[in-house]
Structure 1
Amino acid sequence: MADPILGVLFDKDGTLVDYSATWAPINVAAACFAADGDPDLAEHLLRIGGHDPVTGRIAAGSLLAASHTIEIAQAWRNAGSPFTAAALTCELDRIFTEGAAAAVAVPNVVQLFQELHGAGMRSGVATSDSVAGAHATLRTIGLDGLLDFVAGYDSGHGGKPEPGMATAFSKATGLPPYALAMVGDNLHDIRMGRAAAFSLCVGVLTGTSTRQDLEAEADHILDDVTHLPHLLQHLGRWPSRQFDAGANPRG
């Protein structure tokens, strides 16, 4: 019988929030700033980022879908932004954090976390956004204070798809990888969970990836994150009792 899942690490954008509804206008604002008001350059930067300025669609695995701010700033600097990479990183983080005030949550996400907590499960967020941006978004959607762990690209654990943030979640909760699940909308999330030896890696379709993008590497794919409890129950991996995360979860 498989071990129960006692902790879940979530990606933020495209997983807890609707990516297109939240980030399409933020990406446009960021590109306009990076282009210093040049509309042709702004369009060029959006396309480099994987954001189609005509349709508003963001490509799965693209710069804007999966990379952190330093990577975006450097790529846009190389593509013609007049700002230094350091200055652009700072300003993009500001734009991204301010944009969190308009974040659009996946419906019923607060109830999901209440259900997880009711089962005694630990939860965390690992995002390519800054940690300040993460907390700003979580406040907007009603989740700040409901998580045991929040990490951004600037938290000192490295970026996705490297395992650092996932390993830090395991250490912070005292739970071993075999008792943990990773949930995200992008292959960077799935690969981070795999690299950290999490026993379950789940994809969701509320972000930039399609089912076809995820199916080769994700263990399961959900329409949205609120279906996670049903999946864990179906797999026989829902905790049967509340637990002490400092104790042996096999006990």
Structure 2
Amino acid sequence: MTLGGILFDKDGTLFDFGATWNAWAVGLIQHLSEGDLRTARRIAEVTDFDLDAGVFRPTSPIIAGTGREAAECVSRALPDAHIDALEAVMNDHAARAPQVPPTDLVPLLNDLAGRGLNLGVMTNDSEYAARAHLTAANVLDRFDWIAGFDSGHGAKPAPTPLLAFASQMDLDPARVAMVGDSTHDLIAGRAAGMVAIAVLTGLADHDTLAPYAHAVLPHIGHLPDWLNASG
């Protein structure tokens, strides 16, 4: 069946996870800890962030979680913090985090749209942050549909937000590819009856993703070749 749409995850997919979010985490921890090393190490511990190396560990709950879940995670190290206020601070920092795409997004998305494909973004980040990041990358207008965990459709790994995209685009889910860097993305894609495509620009490796994916690509820049090969 010929594809009619592609739904992208954002972090680790449209943008390289490590190149973007490691620096964000360092800055956020410095801000929240107010320079206190013990508090910084508590935050790093609950988020599974290697503070000395300045990198997320692959087991971090922050990687595929929603913005709310990330705030709840951090709050375990900051018992006096109000969860709504903490989430707002984290969302503000996230919206301003500089994004690093794994390939030149404009020609890639133009190529995909030129094939008649509807393009969407479904992220477990907030919709506000997603729109801010896509705007900064000059690709907001390339997408027909954008949703975050807070857009009213649910969050991955549930299939409901993916099915919302298919419904809005009037597409059979089987004609949609879900492209992501985590098992959350791929599990959601398969549960929705979509083609699940993994990319290796997050923190999960090939062996972790392959059992859940119909195809594993180095990064999204390989999508046109994959489409050409798959007919």
- Given the two structures, how large is their TM-score scaled by the length of structure 1? 0.87
- Structure 1 consecutive aligned stretches of length 4 or more whose deviation exceeds 4 Å: none
Give the Cα–Cα distance (whole angstroms) in 1 for the partners of residues 118 and 192 of structure 2: 17
| Aligned match for 1:98, one of 93, 96, 120 | 96
Q: Deviations over 1:34-56 (max 9, x none)?
A: 33442222222123223211223
Answer whether contact 2:186 2:196 (CA < 8 A) is retained.
Answer: yes
* Equivalent residue, structure 1, for 2:224: 229
**Residues 152-231 of structure 1 mapped to structure 2, 5 A cutoff:** 152-198=148-194, 200-231=195-226
Which moved further from structure 2: 78-87 or 139-148? 78-87
Give the Cα–Cα distance (whole angstroms) in 1 for the partners of residues 163 and 197 of structure 2: 17
* Equivalent residue, structure 1, for 2:144: 148
Answer whether contact 1:34 1:88 (CA < 8 A) is retained.
Answer: no
Distance 1:182 1:34, change over 3 A: same
Residue 20 (1) aligns with residue 18 (2): yes
Give the Cα–Cα distance (whole angstroms) in 2 for the partners of residues 204 and 219 of structure 1: 11
**1:23 counterpart letter in structure 2:** W
| Aligned match for 2:37, one of 19, 39, 50 | 39
**1:149 counterpart letter in structure 2:** W
Residue 72 (1) aligns with residue 85 (2): no
Partner-residue secondary structure (3-state), 1:226: helix
Answer whether contact 1:51 1:64 (CA < 8 A) is retained.
Answer: no
* Equivalent residue, structure 2, for 1:86: 84
Partner-residue secondary structure (3-state), 1:215: helix
Give the Cα–Cα distance (whole angstroms) in 1 for the partners of residues 5 and 48 of structure 2: 32
Aligned residues: percent identity? 34
* Equivalent residue, structure 1, for 2:55: 57
Give the Cα–Cα distance (whole angstroms) in 2 for the partners of residues 222 and 81 of structure 1: 41
Unmatched runs of 5 consecutive residues or more in structure 2: none
**2:88 counterpart letter in structure 1:** C
* Equivalent residue, structure 2, for 1:116: 112
Answer whether contact 1:35 1:81 (CA < 8 A) is retained.
Answer: no
**1:181 counterpart letter in structure 2:** A
Partner-residue secondary structure (3-state), 2:141: coil
**1:180 counterpart letter in structure 2:** V
- Given the two structures, how large is their TM-score scaled by the length of structure 2? 0.94
Give the Cα–Cα distance (whole angstroms) in 2 for the partners of residues 232 and 189 of structure 1: 19
Partner-residue secondary structure (3-state), 2:55: coil
Query: What RMSD in Å do the two structures reach over aligned CA positions?
Result: 1.5
Partner-residue secondary structure (3-state), 1:203: strand
Give the Cα–Cα distance (whole angstroms) in 2 for the partners of residues 165 and 27 of structure 1: 27
Which moved further from structure 2: 44-53 or 227-236? 44-53
Distance 1:218 1:59, change over 3 A: farther
Answer whether contact 2:67 2:87 (CA < 8 A) is retained.
Answer: yes
* Equivalent residue, structure 2, for 1:247: none
Partner-residue secondary structure (3-state), 2:49: coil
